[in-house]
Amino acid sequence: MQVNETEIKEVYLQALWNEQDFCRKLISQQAEKIEVIYPGKWNTGAGPDFLNAHLIIDGKEISGDVEIHFSPQDWLCHGHQNDPRYDNVILHAVWQNSAKDDPSGKSLLLMDEICSMSLCDLEERYQNYSQQAKHKPVEGVIEFSSLSDEQMKSFLEKMAFLRLAQKASHLEEQIKVYGVEQAIYQDLMEAFGYTQNRQAFLILAKSISLKRLQECDDPEAILWGESSLLKDSSQSEVHEDLKAWHQKKWNAWAKFRSTYQAEINWSRRVRPQNTPERRLAGATLFLKNINWNLEIFLNDLAENITSLESYYQGDDLMESFTCFSKKLSKAISLVGESRQREIRLNVFYPYLFLSLKGENELELVKKSYLAEKKGDETGLLREASCRFFLPPSRMKNVVKKFVHQQGLYFLLKNPEWLKECRDYTTS
């Protein structure tokens, strides 16, 4: 099989680093001796290829990230020099360096000098490199696998409540700083931001406090205006069906816009139904449905935690749009069932477990939490299947509820807790 060196898939080089399939000791281009204690967690998302690696470079233990490329010049080609996510890279591992120059400024390792395989051999060995090979089992997985399915479920429930306790503790700290309503409002806005725009929504919530929204005549216009998503229609295209609504909000915003100056960067790398405009429309719809009054809503929350659907529903023009200028082929609910569940899990349940004092009330909320339906499969859950289950397919027999998934999310961030299963038995 012929392989064009300039077109070799970096995933093969990443697999080589993950397996540490080298035939000689590692020495950098700077003549540093390198010992790999832990190659890092293979990152399948944005940022460096391997996170939190543990190396000994010239006798000094150091932790940080590892970036893999075919050649050093790819560092510039991929724009890493301007990306703060790469500031913690401690090793730049490349296949070869024809230019003898590395723009990264990091310790540079040439893998072709310490690997006995050719590029063709690499492709043949790693072209079917599985998810299981990328994410190796962690310490304690043997003991965990010895549990019955029911014992595993109980253990994961215990881990889920530890995760919930962490969220409640974080919320408690936020309440000390911002007060109850503002803290919940900020968490709520973050949750509406999904993964890509959580920070943008948090900036917006801090810029426009809940109290300011409650004090003005058109809080919706202030949120849209301060978000910078609302544009002057004379300068931006607006769909005919939205023009009247858009102009009304723009006129209302004109009274306030000199007061607010938040700089918000929105990510557009999302599906059409998850654009910033639709996410903000969903947030304002919820806030309108509670009359912008979280205090009253929170007072009744414990009794209504399983029936909040009506707060996400209403007649909103953005259900039919992906942005102000582009209409969807059919209307889609602004806040789907899975997002409603995420909001309950990340915002409302932590608040209830933090605020409720009555034993009977807590027991009812706990019962509701345990009954939450299983959420969508994610990349993190696929990783968890490889790290915590032998074989990985066993996860399907065990993970039946949302609470089990939450337990796995907790273990992914706190794998040392897996050791607790050695002494774990069900009651």
Q: What is the pLDDT of residue 94?
A: 94
User: What is the number of structural domains in the chain?
Assistant: 2
- What pLDDT sits at residue 8? 60
Domain containing 257 equals 167-370
Q: Is residue 237 part of a domain?
A: yes
Q: Which residues of the chain, if any, have pLDDT below 70?
A: 1-8, 258, 260, 262, 424-427
Among the three residues 77, 106, 129, which one is the final residue of a domain in this structure? 129
| Whether the model pTM is above 0.85 | no
Whether 16 maps to a domain, the answer reads: yes
Assess whether 107 and 251 both reside in one domain: no
Pairing of strands 33-38, 50-57: antiparallel
Residue 66 located in a structural domain: yes
- Domain end residue (candidates: 324, 345, 370): 370
Same domain, 230 and 346: yes
Neighbours of 327 (CB within 10 A): 15
Residue 424 pLDDT? 66
| Number of neighbours of residue 363 by Cβ within 10 angstroms | 11
Interhelix angle for 402-413 vs 149-178, to 10°? 70
Q: How far apart are CA 168 and CA 349, in angstroms?
A: 8
Same domain assignment for residues 224 and 82: no
Domain identity same for 122 and 184: no
**185/262 same-domain check:** yes
One domain, residues 297 and 240: yes
Distances (CA, A) of 92 to 27, 71, 88, 104, 192: 12, 10, 11, 7, 37
Residue 177 inside a domain? The answer is yes
**Could you give the 3-state DSSP secondary structure of residue 336?**
coil
Cβ proximity of 80 and 86 under 8 Å: yes
CB burial of 245-255 (b: ≥16 within 10 Å; e: otherwise) equals ebeebbebbee
Helix (H, G, I), strand (E, B) or coil at 62: strand
In terms of domains, do 207 and 355 share one? yes
Residues 117 and 173 placed together within one structural domain of the fold: no
Instruction: Identify whether residues 232 and 323 lie together within a single domain.
Output: yes
- Residues 124, 194, single domain; the answer is no
Domain assignment of residue 29, yes or no: yes
User: Distance between CA 151 and CA 421 in Å, rounded?
Assistant: 9
* Concatenated DSSP letters of 135-195: SPPPTTHHHHHTS-HHHHHHHHHHHHHHHHHHHHHHHHHHHHHH-HHHHHHHHHHHHHTTT
Co-location of 106 and 174 in the same domain: no
Q: 81-120: per-residue pLDDT in tens?
A: 988 899 999 999 999 887 777 889 999 999 999 999 988 8
**One domain, residues 122 and 175:** no
Please give the pLDDT value at position 426. 45
pLDDT for 209 equals: 95
Residue 147 lies in a domain: no
Q: Which of 370, 392, 409 is the last residue of a domain?
A: 370
SS3 readout for 226-256: HCCCCCCCCCCCCCHHHHHHHHHHHHHHHCC
Residue 243 lies in a domain: yes
Whether residue 406 is contained in a domain is answered as no
Contact 207, 189 (CB under 8 A): no
